[in-house]
Amino acid sequence: MEKHLYLIINKEAGSGNGKKVADKLEKQLALLSVKHTIFYTEYAGHERLIVQQLAVETLVPWQEAQEHDLFPLLVIMGGDGTLHSAVNALYEIDPTIPVGYLPCGSGNDFARGTGIERQLEKGLSQILRAEEPQIIQVIRYEDAVQNEKGFAVNNVGIGLDAAIVQAANTSKTKQTLNKFNMGSLSYLFSILKVLFTQKGFPILVDINGKSMEVSRAFLCTVTNHPYFGGGVAIAPTADPRKPIFDLVLVERINIFKIFWLIYLLSRKKHMESKNFHHYQTSKLRIVSTIPEYVHADGEILGEQNLDITFTIHEGLFWFTDN
């Protein structure tokens, strides 16, 4: 199938790594004589406007692909946050339009979890060789309290991981460290801070036809593939090609047990711990009457009470396995 790539590129992704990769990409596209049009984002959220305009004027649903001699393919190049924003903008208009992805962020968990190559030439080859999209499960969430809904390509976190993201994003040292490509240090400092300050909070969980009350939730993450936090395999059994997602739940325990659990996590033995709870389902509801930070794909949704229902959505992503 002959394709015309419509690329949306975030040059600021990965603390500026996006610009370097974008320069390489342009050379590769010219070398391979690939038909393409490039749009560079100019500010935070700009990708949403570009996606919406393309979805209305240019892109077509996959079921109409055979009607076009030259298939217009949307390709996002950036980090997980850029992909999250673009996918949500696209699905508001037509969730059956496929998406290609070239990762150049700092975490790249979606690429890692789905088998998309993180090296540019290999990732571009996966897109160019593909003849049809793959079905990758994404998480659909809807909060009845905030009247907010959306999609997450990686995970939705309540409590610890969201508080870490919030602390890192508001860190006074983050911008300085980013200038030296050391933004990950800001994230590390935030982890250490939040580990000591995050309190347990009560939640109600409806899962697999059962309700359970958790009095001191600490880490509560819904994920559709194994990774979060830039390559941490929090849910090793999660599979983005199966129509289920995983819930990881850790209750507040003393700091020594937390560090022991982190050690087990580094050895990929955390699922053996009695302090680590893991569930799989295709529908889930979590209620909290205590305001907590919530994030979707590393994007903070707010500090809020919540009543969130999670379901599965079949996303169409354009790449081929190696």
CA trace torsion 166, 167, 168, 174 (10° rounding): 120
Distance (Å, whole) CA 125 – CA 55: 24
Q: How far apart are CA 321 and CA 137, in angstroms?
A: 16
CB atoms within 10 A of CB 94: 13
Distance CA 144, CA 86 (A): 23
Span 138-160, average pLDDT: 96
Could you tell me the maximum CA-CA distance found in the chain, to the nearest angstrom? 62
What are the domain boundaries of the chain? 2-132, 140-316
Judge whether residue 180 has pLDDT over 90. no
Average pLDDT over residues 84-94: 97
**189, pLDDT greater than 90:** no
Tokens encoding 137: 């499960």
C-alpha distances (whole Å) from 142 to each of 118, 150, 235, 298 are 31, 7, 22, 17
Q: Per-residue pLDDT tens for 281-292?
A: 999 999 999 999
**Whole-number Å distance between alpha carbons of 215 and 201:** 6
Q: pLDDT tens digits for 198-250?
A: 999 999 999 999 999 999 999 999 999 999 988 899 999 999 999 999 999 99
Q: Are 159 and 292 in contact (CB under 8 A)?
A: yes
Model confidence band, residue 322 (pLDDT cutoffs 50, 70, 90): confident
Place of tokens 């009560």: 202
Q: What percentage of the chain exceeds 70 in pLDDT? A: 94
Instruction: Tell me what pLDDT residue 283 has.
Output: 96
310 contacts: CB under 8 Å, gap ≥ 6: 139, 140, 141, 156, 222, 245, 283, 284, 285, 286
Instruction: State the CATH class of domain 2-132.
Output: alpha beta
> Which secondary-structure segment (H or E) carries 71?
strand 71-78
d(CA 73, CA 65): 10
Q: Which of the four pLDDT bands, split at 50, 70 and 90, describes residue 181?
A: low
Topology adopted by domain 140-316 = Tumour Suppressor Smad4 (2.60.200)
Cα separation of 279 and 314, whole Å? 20
CB 75 within 8 Å of CB 100:
yes
Rounded Cα distance between 302 and 322, Å, is 39
